Chains A and B, each alone.
Chain A
Amino acid sequence: MIIIGEKINGAIPAVKKAIQEKDADFIRDRAIKQAEAGADFIDVCASTAPDVEVETLKWLIDIVQDAVDTPICIDSPDPFFLKEVLPFIKKPGLINSVNLEKIEGSDQDKCDVLFPLVEGTEWEVIALTCDSENGTPRDVETRVEISKKIIEKAATFGITPDKIHIDPLVMALSTDNNSLLNFVESMKQVKAIYPTVKFTSGLSNISFGMPKRKIINQNFMTLAIYEGMDSAIMDPLNKEIMGSIFATEALLGRDKHTRKYNAAVRKERI
């Protein structure tokens, strides 16, 4: 399971404060703790006003790559900001994210802007199943259609499916009864065509508006891993959810003699 640590995001009040006060120690500490907890990527998202977003991202990037070797998952809603900060990241990481919506006032989508930079590198990319025609579809057929288009577009830049993490944007269970089932079916259908493509998801959408969300999140994690989810954007310091991951992987025979599980307990990660 590939873990994308979500704790450096300006949308989190404590991080927002650290950004405003230029508290580098706070950010550094979050990077180190997530790396120690087993994050494979560290998401870096400014969530500031657009006019200071690029400088904020650069500041965060410098702190994180100085503190840890874990690659960065660079996160912005603006593809041009991503393009601008990418050269400052030393180690190839993950781009969060592209989709097929036309960018306002142009004929291009985020793939057109960012795929040329990924071409010929080790960078990976998160792709959301949205386009201009369908917005954010919840049905399987449209999600599969958009996934195929993105993967085929990537191929024209020499980007192979294993570098793409499809995020089908899981709906809230309280508003969509078949949310998990549709996620699983979308994943199965796309993987039937492109077996090496990766699927990812945020963890908290599924439980939006429900009480005791942790229970739903943990069980979503278990079922999604069982059905083939490859990565997740989540809090690696959350011992309960990490426990679900280690236990599920062991139960699925991916942890010989359950030694990873044992080690995680020993190191108090779960």
Chain B
Amino acid sequence: MNFEMLTQAVGELEDEKALELLKEFVATNPSEEEANKAVAACQKGMALVGDLFESGEYFVGDLIFAGELLTEAIDILKPVLGSGEAKKVGSMVIATVHGDLHDIGKNIFKSMAEAAGFEVYDLGIDTPAQAFIDKVKETNAQIVGMSGVLTLALESMKDTVEEIKEAGLRDDVKIIIGGNPVTKEACDHIGADAFTTNAAEGVKIIQGWSA
């Protein structure tokens, strides 16, 4: 198996080529270790997609397609990955905060974070602070991601951080906020650890936290 070729095929979104390579690979009955290398090669390809998105070469439709391609790739690899699922890089709880219904950006971030190997628990839209807290407790996630498009989402984000503090969880999680209205100032005001208006950059930030 030429892993570099696989990385390149994923990065260039050549789905037929990538899936064919994977099918041929699975037909050789590879070891679990080899199979994990193939997963890593696909994820490397996804990182390329993220870079090309950041540089303005790829657009949202390409990103979504990349997420779908990765899901198909993992499905093909599943039989040879053994019972032990591919090890997760980290886990996070994400949602659009209370009072806001926008979720395009959040969904893109989710598929990219999953593609990068994160376990993502998505609570959907208009999510109250308590739901974040309950899910963090339940899953022991190390990262919380809050998304919003409306200006009022910033207040909800602040309230959510406050409640996470009150629940005694603030030191256990890193918090990243994303969406149109977030800025450095808003991030400081809210008390989050990082902010981004770019899904690919957001994934890089959480990768930094999980390294």
- Where the two chains meet, the residues of A that have a C-beta atom closer than 8 Å to any C-beta of B are 10-11, 47-50, 77-78, 104, 130, 135-136, 172-175, 208-211
Closest 10 A-B residue pairs measured CB to CB? A209-B60, A174-B61, A174-B60, A47-B151, A136-B101, A209-B59, A210-B59, A211-B59, A172-B104, A77-B152
A78 vs B156: C-alpha distance when bound (angstroms)? 14
Q: Is the CB of A175 within 8 A of B64?
A: yes
Give chain A nearest CB distance to B64 CB in angstroms: 6
Give chain B nearest CB distance to A105 CB in angstroms: 11
B interface size (C-beta, 8 A): 21
A109 vs B99: C-alpha distance when bound (angstroms)? 13
Residues of A contacting B180 in the complex (Cβ-Cβ under 8 angstroms): 11
Q: Is the CB of A208 within 8 A of B104?
A: yes
A86 vs B10: C-alpha distance when bound (angstroms)? 54
Given A11-B181, A209-B61, A50 and B107 contact (CB-CB distance below 8 Å): no
- Where the two chains meet, the residues of B that have a C-beta atom closer than 8 Å to any C-beta of A are 59-61, 63-64, 98-99, 101, 104, 107-108, 124-126, 150-152, 154-155, 180-181
Interface centre among B63, B98, B99, B104 (most CB of A within 10 A): B104
Pair count A-B, CB < 8 A: 49
Residues of A contacting B150 in the complex (Cβ-Cβ under 8 angstroms): 47, 77
A174 vs B105: C-alpha distance when bound (angstroms)? 12
Give chain A nearest CB distance to B126 CB in angstroms: 7
Q: Is the CB of A10 within 8 A of B60?
A: no
Q: What residue of chain B has the Cβ atom nearest to residue A49's Cβ?
A: B155
A136 vs B106: C-alpha distance when bound (angstroms)? 15
Question: Mind listing 25 A-B residue pairs with CB under 8 Å?
Answer: A10-B151, A11-B181, A47-B150, A47-B151, A48-B151, A49-B151, A49-B154, A50-B152, A78-B152, A135-B101, A135-B125, A135-B126, A172-B60, A173-B61, A174-B59, A174-B60, A174-B61, A174-B64, A175-B60, A175-B107, A209-B60, A209-B63, A210-B59, A210-B61, A211-B59
Residues of A contacting B64 in the complex (Cβ-Cβ under 8 angstroms): 174-175
Residues of B contacting A48 in the complex (Cβ-Cβ under 8 angstroms): 151
Give chain B nearest CB distance to A6 CB in angstroms: 15
Q: Is the CB of B60 within 8 A of A77?
A: no
Q: What residue of chain A has the Cβ atom nearest to residue B101's Cβ?
A: A136
Q: What residue of chain A has the Cβ atom nearest to residue B62's Cβ?
A: A174
Q: Is the CB of A210 within 8 A of B60?
A: yes
Interface centre among B151, B154, B181 (most CB of A within 10 A): B151
Q: Is the CB of A209 within 8 A of B101?
A: no
Q: What residue of chain A has the Cβ atom nearest to residue B98's Cβ?
A: A104
Interface centre among A50, A173, A209, A211 (most CB of B within 10 A): A209
Residues of A contacting B125 in the complex (Cβ-Cβ under 8 angstroms): 135-136
Give chain A nearest CB distance to B56 CB in angstroms: 8
Q: What residue of chain A has the Cβ atom nearest to residue B126's Cβ?
A: A135
Give chain B nearest CB distance to A99 CB in angstroms: 9
B60, B151, B154: the one within 8 Å of A208 (CB): B60
Q: Is the CB of B61 within 8 A of A11?
A: no
Q: What residue of chain A has the Cβ atom nearest to residue B102's Cβ?
A: A136
Q: Is the CB of B99 within 8 A of A175?
A: no
Give chain B nearest CB distance to A256 CB in angstroms: 41
Q: What residue of chain A has the Cβ atom nearest to residue B63's Cβ?
A: A209
A77 vs B63: C-alpha distance when bound (angstroms)? 30
Residues of A contacting B107 in the complex (Cβ-Cβ under 8 angstroms): 175
A175 vs B154: C-alpha distance when bound (angstroms)? 25
Give chain A nearest CB distance to B159 CB in angstroms: 12
Residues of B contacting A104 in the complex (Cβ-Cβ under 8 angstroms): 98-99
A130 vs B125: C-alpha distance when bound (angstroms)? 12
Residues of B contacting A130 in the complex (Cβ-Cβ under 8 angstroms): 101
A49 vs B107: C-alpha distance when bound (angstroms)? 26
Residues of A contacting B59 in the complex (Cβ-Cβ under 8 angstroms): 174, 209-211
A211 vs B56: C-alpha distance when bound (angstroms)? 9
Q: Is the CB of B155 within 8 A of A209?
A: no
Residues of B contacting A10 in the complex (Cβ-Cβ under 8 angstroms): 151
Give chain B nearest CB distance to A264 CB in angstroms: 32
Residues of A contacting B99 in the complex (Cβ-Cβ under 8 angstroms): 77, 104
A1 vs B16: C-alpha distance when bound (angstroms)? 46
Residues of B contacting A210 in the complex (Cβ-Cβ under 8 angstroms): 59-61
Give chain B nearest CB distance to A112 CB in angstroms: 18
Residues of B contacting A136 in the complex (Cβ-Cβ under 8 angstroms): 101, 125
